[in-house]
Amino acid sequence: MAVAVAIEEREGRRVPVLAPYQASSRALPAGPASRPVAEIVAAVHERAIDQGLADLAIDGLDRDTLEPVLTYCAELKCEADDATCPGCKRRTEADGIGSLDALARRHREIVIGDGGVRLQGPGEGVVAAPSLEALARDWAGESYWFWARRVIRKLRHGIRRAHIQGSAFAGGGESPAVLLMEPQLADNIGMVARAMANTGLDELRVISPRDGWPNEKARIAASGANYVVDDTVSYATLADGIADLQWVAATTARQRDLRKPVLTPEQLVAEMRKRIAAGQRCGILFGRERNGLETDEVAVCDAIVMIPVNPRFASLNLAQAVLLIGYEWMRQHDRASLGRVTTYEAPIAPGLNVGGSRPATKEEMLGLYEHLELELERLGYFNPLQKRQTMVRNIRSMLARMDATEQEVRTLRGIVAALAQGKGRGRKSP
């Protein structure tokens, strides 16, 4: 048994579906067992390819037979077949729906969530959406062909940076756990993991993530911070996620009527370092992308962390918030480095980086002064002569402020010589 893309009539629409066929007869029977191509694409895009195939559990569909199905979608072959998948942006466009208002007019009713909110329209049929926010975000449909192209690349070339594993910056329990409360987007979890890897935070915990865990989108967004993603643990409730911790701080931009210490990031890190040194496990709780933490969630924490921000625009992107706290954590660490350190790049300290050159000696600086003054005098720069001494002092003071290296002194003397005598073919005749 194998699989192929067939066209099936469903509710008056032509739908591309994955259907079994017998190789000997090339028959393409469609029926209840067939699955829309978009459903296949979504399954292998949302999770790892192998996990998506396992979840689909379609006889004959494996890595070898998956690529032709993806290619059908990626190359928009459905256009030639005059077919569209449910939920695809192409169907919305084919129906002439160019706005959310047009969607509402086309249907008799749009049901939001459990039905407590309903939008009435003059059209036919019913549409369901989990929330008004989701409806506003997803009404136009998904670009499944774009997803298909991404999965094809992973099939052929593997996951970008999948070979990068990395390792924890510190030992177990030596850094605080980062907890994300009901994160909505797997991409944000991946970007948080990347920020953590940048700043020496190793342990990530996710509380009831909306799109489930593990999630391939998070690995892609982590851009190489794979060890953080691979070690991330998902918990069903906040109580489960903080059960083994002794001290937890909650991040928030809103003032709460709670009698708790309010800390800056600098104070937070100092407190956690003191407690970790005493053998305690610490954590930092970050809220949802949509509306942060609920007051009841903040109440079970030991302290509140607030970042100095513009009071009229205090909302932060989730990964940015983690990066700000992580920066302070790394800044106070004795192993922190300015920039990366590789085989060819040694650690550097703040201040002027002069590379392998040393500061110029006074003898070298005096030689530069005299060389420059000699050529200026020869060319009649010091005019009137009675001001020569003042002008020389000003020039020397200006050059002294450079704090030049011996290489820079040699360069400047070469410039003076070239201007005075020329260089190569431009050398002036005596």
Q: Are residues 71 and 107 in the same domain?
A: no
User: Would you say residue 29 has pLDDT above 50?
Assistant: no
- How many domains does the chain divide into? 4
User: Do residues 3 and 149 share a domain?
Assistant: yes
Domain of 104?
99-139
Q: Is 387 part of a structural domain of the chain? A: yes
The DSSP annotation for 357-385 comes to: PPBPPHHHHHHHHHHHHHHHHHTT-S-SG
Q: Are residues 324 and 209 in the same domain?
A: yes
Boundary residue ending a domain (309, 331, 353): 331
What does the pLDDT look like over 182-217, one tens digit per residue?
Answer: 999 999 999 999 999 999 999 999 999 998 888 888
In a domain, 281, yes or no: yes
Question: What are 117-137's pLDDT values in tens digits?
Answer: 888 989 888 888 888 888 888
Contact status, residue 166 vs residue 227, Cβ threshold 8 Å: yes
3-state class of 224 per DSSP? coil
Query: What pLDDT is attached to residue 41?
Result: 93
Say if residue 272 is in the same domain as residue 380. Answer: no
Residue 23 lies in a domain: yes
Statement to judge: residues 11 and 148 lie in one domain: yes
146 and 135 together in one domain: no
Indicate if 182 and 304 belong to the same structural domain.
yes
Residues 125 and 153 in one domain: no
Considering the domain architecture, whether residues 66 and 105 belong to the same structural domain is answered as: no
Residue 292 within a domain: yes
Residues 215 and 118 reside in one and the same domain:
no
Whether 279 and 130 share a structural domain: no
Residue 340 lies in a domain: no
In a domain, 397, yes or no: yes
Per-position DSSP letters for 153-187, written without gaps between them: HHHHH-STTTT-----SS-TTSSPEEEEES-S-HH
What share of the chain has pLDDT > 70, as a percent? Answer: 87
pLDDT at residue 23, as a whole number = 44
pLDDT value at residue 351 = 66
Closest CA to 32 of 15, 51, 49: 15
CA distance linking residue 73 with residue 335, whole number of Å? 49
The amino acid occupying position 211 is: D
* CB atoms closer than 10 angstroms to residue 296: 8
CATH at 296: 3.40.1280.10
Beta bridge partners of 19: 4
Q: Are residues 8 and 154 located together in one domain of the fold?
A: yes
This prediction's pTM: 0.56
Give, in order, the Cα–Cα distances in Å from 398 to each of 277, 294, 371, 401. Answer: 51, 60, 15, 5
Rounded-to-integer distance, Cα 48 and Cα 41, Å = 12
Model confidence at 30, pLDDT cuts 50, 70, 90, reads very low
